[in-house]
Copies of this chain bind each other. A is one copy, B any other.
Amino acid sequence: MTPLSNSIDHLTQTFRESGLRVTHQRLEIYRELMEARDHPTAEQLYRRLRGRIPTLSLDTVYRTLTTLVTHGMVKRLETVESQARFDTTRQRHHHIICKRCNEIMDFHWPLLDETPLPGEVDSWGRLDGVNVVVYGVCARCLAGDAQPT
């Protein structure tokens, strides 16, 4: 847990290394995102943080997330929903999304990581990452109702 520690000291250092000033808002936004397991939207983060930082504004959450994305500390997930979702850049992992409730679960797929990409992809340019997105309907939604997808 050390390399991704959410201690104030560690976060402070991480920001400094990126040449970013260390502000209370940034620390808390990043920390909240690290601890969240649900790929929150900017607004969800905002609501969760308002209790702790009553003067926080939604724009700051957006601006901070954009800044952290630019510096590679946060990943903006591609999603079909209208709102963007965010994730701290941690260990390589993939996503499975429920079409009904939009919940995103992480999973690991070591077998895929070993599978070589097709040649046409290798020659396409510089590759930065392979991401798998599985779509479906989660067990909870399947149990909860009987509506068609």
List the interface of chain A (C-beta within 8 A of B). Answer: 76, 78-80, 96, 98-99, 105, 107-109, 111-112, 115-118, 120-121, 123-142, 149
Contact = CB atoms under 8 A, between A and B. Distances in A.
Contacts of A131: 132-135
B112 A115 contact: yes
Contacts of A121: 96, 107, 109, 134
Contacts of A111: 115-116, 118
B125 A129 contact: no
Nearest to A69: B80
Contacts of A124: 96, 105, 136, 138-139
A87 to B, nearest CB: 12
Contact of A142 (B76, B118, B125, B133): B125
Given A125-B98, A136-B124, A142-B125, A115 B115 contact: yes
- Closest 4 interchain pairs by CB? A125-B138, A78-B78, A127-B136, A125-B139
Contacts of A133: 78, 130-133
A109 B133 CA distance: 14
B126 A136 contact: yes
Nearest to A120: B107
23 contacts: A78-B80, A96-B127, A99-B128, A107-B120, A107-B121, A109-B117, A111-B116, A115-B115, A121-B134, A125-B136, A125-B139, A125-B142, A126-B136, A126-B137, A127-B134, A127-B136, A128-B135, A128-B149, A129-B135, A130-B134, A130-B135, A131-B132, A132-B133
